[in-house]
Structure 1
Amino acid sequence: MKFLLVAINAKYIHSNLAVYSLKAFAEKYGNNNNEIEIAEYTINQYSDDILRDIYKRKPDAVGFSCYIWNIGMVKEIVRDYKKICPNVDVWVGGPEVSYNVEQVLRENETIDYVMYGEGELTFKEVMDKYTFNGIGIDDLKDILGIGYRKSKSLEHQIFESETGILDCSKKQRIQIIINKPQQPVDMSDIPFVYKEMKDFENKIIYYETSRGCPFSCSYCLSSIDKRLRFRSLDLVKKELQFFIDNNTNQVKFVDRTFNCNKKHAMEIWSYIKKHDNGVTNFHFEIAADLMTEEEIALISDMRPGLIQLEIGVQSTNEKTLEAINRKTDIEKIAEITEKIHHGGNIHQHLDLIAGLPYENYESFKRSFDQVYAMKPDQFQLGFLKVLYGSMMKENSEKYGMAYSGRAPYEVLKTKWVSFDDILKLKEVEAVVEIYYNSFQFENTIRKLSELYESPFELYEQLGSFYQRHSENGEKHSRVKRYELLLNFIKKRNFEENIQWEELLTKDFYLRENAKSRPGFSKNIEKYKHQIREFFKGEEVRTILMDYEDYDSKQLEKMTHVEVFGINEDNLTYILFDYKHRNPLNKQAKLINITKQIKR
């Protein structure tokens, strides 16, 4: 008997830790000889292609891992799959079906069973019950953490209706059965799922050392589980060493608040610092206001790029924070992020959520400006998702919330923000992603934001301008985005004597040694001879490290030299070294070679 576990990920670089954990747990602890197979796809693939591949695998039962990004696609595939394989059991599990089990079964007749909550113990029990003859009603009643349908015969029952007598002698009543919840699994009992890293090449590796969350944020499903549990640190260290030995590019911890237990966090951070291989990056989601001086001192001495931190601020409005049950100290967050920023070695990713209770457009603007002042390396603007099972959904009517009926159930309006406000904030989100988070416009945006009292007003104006030049949904090229930013700046008629074209040129070459020169850049043809002579000279060998195997022509192609300045007597020559990039933003190393050029 073959059970196929299906994961439909948001991107190719993602992997699905859940299905690998189910498989590993059932194989280690199960009492069956059934085969468990995993199939991973992405939402960018055609549904027909996924359907074809599932069919060709010939499973006896198939289970889908369901999230807000894939639930629509899962339902579509399941409907078609049942048409061609009506006798194959279809299971679903995951956060998108765990909090509305009855609704899922009533509205989707092609879904046979739902696993809700944590899946490892439940899936093991399901596999233990399966035989080559499938699974029956009597097998289901004892499995914790599942929901299913049960048909009850209505023979010989007659009902009166407005239109007369209804004979139900040949009908059945469908009864939804939801068994009791499964017990929480011991985190140390879950087998380590990564055995052969070649199966995860070019993918982000997800790793889990704890479950549950000590906080009660009303919009978040993690707040439902208060049973905070940790994986044995002895196991964690062995598994971290596996990633380190394999030179894994990035390991993303999925622990909801990694530093809620100081001892746990300190041991893990100390271990990866001590065993740093110079390659692997570790990503953690933390509560900044819980950070201690001891923790800051430890991480501030790490290799640049060894770890990165994601910090959910969500709002700086005190009434909003109270309404969503976040006990957040905004001043402490600002203080901690500044200390971490001062170390210059850790990427910080800060989040805000639009559409929260008591946050109107002006309030969100203040939240934006306060978080922007914390100088995040990446600044994510999200929009509230009103999720099944969350307290926010229960209170949505109280807050006057309208939200999409389709996943991801994004807010459309509230008592405090209109749909017009949401649309304007969408424009802000788009240009923050393009012009701030991409690291491709860093110097230009920094200088530009200095000319605004409110950074939000800059992105508000830029978002409106960008939208007007993208009316047909046009996806602009990289060069076009630079040109649009320059046009935006010129229309503002700033009085300051700033060489915007030079700033944009510097930003343009910091991330990429572009083959084609942008039209806004200075013509440097007349300086080419001097630049070539520099690459032929001996000094270039002392300036460019690790390039000893390349000749002068190769050096010139692998790097870039830009000439800055208006006055011919006061030019500056800057060398862009792409082999030695900043590990936090991937920008080229800059070397001033003016003295070498002018000799």
Structure 2
Amino acid sequence: MPVTRNTSDILLVAVNARYSHCAFAPRSLIANLGPLAPRAGLLECDLEITPLQLAERIAARSPRVVGFSVYLWNVRLIEATARLLRVVDSGMRLAAGGPELTADYPHADLFDTVIVGEGESAFRAFCETVLTDGGDFPLSSVLINQTGEALASLALPYDRYTDTDLAQRTVYVETSRGCPFSCAYCTSAGTGLRLIPLLRLLPAFDELWRRGLRRFKFLDRSFNAPTEHACAVLDFFRSRVTEDTCLHVEIQPDRLHPDVLSRLAAFPAGTLHLEVGIQTLTPHVAARIGRSPDTARTLETLRVLTRETGATVHADLIFGLPGEDEVAFARGFNTLVTVCDPPEVQVNWLKVLPGTRFAREAQRIGLAFNPEPPYELLRSDAMDFATLSRIQRFARCWELVHNRGHFSEACLRLHALAGGDFYACYQALADHLCAAEGKLFAISRPRLAALLDDFLARPLPRPDHPSPESPLSS
């Protein structure tokens, strides 16, 4: 790709997981620079870029201030780029912010300032100091925003999306910031929920709609809290919905008000994608990590969403949580599939993220984890590494065969064969695939279909895992 030569005094850099994703945070930072906004530019790329290539593209813009948006997937690439820029242009001022950065971030000395928390006000102040006052921030300055931005007056960034963005890429929006919950694994825990006023928000959404955007991906951690706010946003889209509309929102299942549910049910089939965070169905584990231990209510809500709305429902489970062994995890998975049978169940390896309660308490509660991103758990008080690796093979097999939707008929046969023990069935299938291929990736669809047929022609091994009829652990 040719190097862009236009210059910007302020350059926001976003390294996205995929090109199709539009970065929200740097657009919001630019929108809130006030009179400095015309002097700011945006450089977006994806993970295919190398640190040297990224440094070259940044240097070609001759910025005086560079702001990096740092996430789990790009932190090491950005750190390497910052090291190069220190050599290329020692006068360039570097700022970094994002959920990957905490008050004790170990590589803060790579940047002139590290912003922890919401960054619009702090980044503007940094730019004003460098560009207007001519001053310098002390090296390794860490700015912590503990209260968050004033959302009633924060400039909304949606005019920063181009028509090409709206037509071709995943566009992110938000109606709130923070989260009312305190999940031990989450970087948003305990931040408190704050709402963007509807009188400002809905006209901005209307303008996006007028410009042709039909696929809205919401950043809200808890879209359905509070009820009145969620209902107003859903009413806005329900009055405009077309067959090519898609709203992607994250739902908290134990707090879904009937008014929100009735509105979700009113949308045409296929226009809603609901991400439902279950995480665990073991009550004492749920309580320990800050989730609701009322698993019956959670399951009932998920069942209703799956069967009484036209939404595509995606449920999340985490394995490796403290206090949950393989037997309890398998029981919860089996129960989830039996009671609700959501189209997708995403099974995720626990990540011990910087700044979370799990990271702070890891040694005390028996968690050992990879110190490098993405910080996978290596051992818990209930699972060793071999067990975690076995469940990961199961999860990969489930993703390949079930979640991707390419083998509907084979899945029906697998589920009949499973006799309610879906975990054992797909674990045995994972073993079969590994024995045949030596891997669970880069298997062509025709080859996978043949391996499925071969597996279904054999008797199913019956490991000692609990069936969904067994009561959930308390």
State the TM-score, normalizing by the size of structure 2: 0.90
Partner of 1:135: 135
Q: Structure 2 counterpart of 1:323, which letter? A: R
Tell me the alpha carbon deviations over residues 254-296 of structure 1, each in whole angstroms, 9 at most, x when there is no partner.
1111111000011111111111133221111111121123322
Overall identity of the aligned pairs, in %: 26
Does the alignment pair 1:322 with 2:325?
no
Of residues 462, 481, 489, the one that matches 2:429 is 462
Matched, 1:40 2:44: yes
Contact residue 179 and residue 189 of structure 2 kept, 8 A: yes
In 1: Cα distance, 2:224 partner to 2:440 partner: 42
Measure the CA separation in 2 of the matches of 1:445 and 1:132.
63
Amino acid paired to 2:191? D
Match of 1:186 in 2: 150
Distance 1:452 1:53, change over 3 A: same
How far the C-alpha of 1:464 sits from its partner, in A, is 1.5
What CA distance in whole angstroms lies between the structure 2 residues aligned with 1:244 and 1:306? 15
Are residue 382 (structure 1) and residue 348 (structure 2) matched?
Answer: yes
Answer yes or no: is 1:475 the counterpart of 2:442: yes
In structure 1, stretches of 5+ residues that fail to align are 141-147, 150-175, 495-599
CA deviation string 1:187-226 (max 9, x = no partner): 2323232223324432111101101111111111111312
Tell me whether 1:257 sits opposite 2:260 in the alignment: no
Q: How much has 1:129 moved relative to structure 2?
A: 1.6
User: CA RMSD, aligned part only?
Assistant: 2.1
Q: Residue 10 of structure 2 aligns to which amino acid in structure 1?
A: F
- Shift in Å at residue 344 of structure 1? 4.9
- Give the partner amino acid of 1:16: A
Give the Cα–Cα distance (whole angstroms) in 2 for the partners of residues 263 and 344 of structure 1: 20
1:117-516 superposed matches below 5 A: 117-131=117-131, 134-136=134-136, 140=137, 148-149=138-139, 178=142, 181=145, 183-195=147-159, 196-226=162-192, 228-373=193-338, 374-453=340-419, 454-471=421-438, 475-492=442-459
Q: Given that residues 34 and 127 in structure 1 are in contact (C-alpha distance below 8 angstroms), is that contact kept between their aligned partners in structure 2?
A: no
Contact 2:12 2:42 (8 Å CA) reproduced: yes
**Alpha-carbon distance in structure 2 between the residues aligned to 1:275 and 1:338:** 27
Q: Which moved more, 1:462-471 or 1:262-271?
A: 462-471
Question: Which residue of 1 is the match for residue 4 of structure 2?
Answer: none
Confirm or deny: 8 A CA contact 1:121 1:182 kept in the other structure: no
Give deviations 1:138-166, integer Å, cap 9, x for gaps: xx4xxxxxxx53xxxxxxxxxxxxxxxxx
Q: Distance in 1 between matches of 2:325 and 2:210?
A: 50
1:84 maps to 88
- Residue of structure 1 equivalent to 2:3: none
Could you report, residue by residue, the CA deviation over 1:331-382 in whole angstroms, capped at 9, with x for unpaired residues? Answer: 1122122222223511111000111110111111111112222111111011
Q: State how far apart, in whole Å, the 2-side matches of 1:464 and 1:270 are.
A: 48
Q: 1:180 to 1:33 in 2, by over 3 A?
A: closer
CA–CA separation in structure 1 for the residues paired with 2:322 and 2:154:
38
* Pairing partner for 1:2 from 2, 9, 18: 9
Change (3 A) 1:135 1:182: farther
| 2:57 matched residue in structure 1 | 53
CA gap of 1:469–1:64, structure 2 versus 1, over 3 A, is farther
Q: Equivalences for 1:507-586 in 2 at 5 Å?
A: none
Within 5 Å, give how 1:578-597 maps onto structure 2.
Answer: none
**Cα offset for 1:110?**
3.1
Deviation readout 1:492-533 (Å, 9 max, x if unpaired): 379xxxxxxxxxxxxxxxxxxxxxxxxxxxxxxxxxxxxxxx
How far, CA to CA, are the matches of 2:329 and 2:149 in structure 1?
40
Query: What CA deviation, in whole Å up to 9, does each residue of 1:66-100 have, x standing for no partner?
Result: 11111011111111222222221121111111342
Give the direction of change, closer, same or farther, for the CA distance of 1:340–1:363 in structure 2 (3 Å limit): same
Looking at structure 2, the residues matched to 182 and 420 of structure 1 have their Cα atoms a distance apart, in angstroms, of 40
Residues of 2 paired with 1:313 and 1:474: CA distance?
A: 26
Summarize deviations over 1:462-493 as a string: whole Å, max 9, x none: 11222223326761112112112112212337
Distance 2:450 2:417 in 1: 20
Give how far 1:461 is off. Answer: 0.7
Aligned residue identity for 2:70: C
1:118 partner SS: coil
* 2: CA distance, partners of 1:359 / 1:395: 17
Specify the code of the residue in structure 2 equivalent to 1:416. A
Alpha-carbon contact 2:97-2:114 (below 8 Å) kept: yes
Partner amino acid, structure 2, of 1:202: Q
Match of 2:107 in 1: 104
Alignment partners' CA distance in 2, 1:253 and 1:37: 24
Aligned length, in residue pairs:
450
Q: Decide whether aligned partners of structure 1 residues 473 and 345 sit closer, same or farther in structure 2, where only a CA change above 3 A counts.
A: closer
Secondary structure in 2 matching 1:469 = helix
Opposite residue 185 of structure 1, the aligned amino acid is: E
Letter in 2 for 1:332: R
CA contact (8 A) 1:315 1:321 kept: yes
Corresponding letter in the other structure for 1:465: H
Shift of 1:244: 2.6
Match of 1:12 among 16, 19, 32: 19
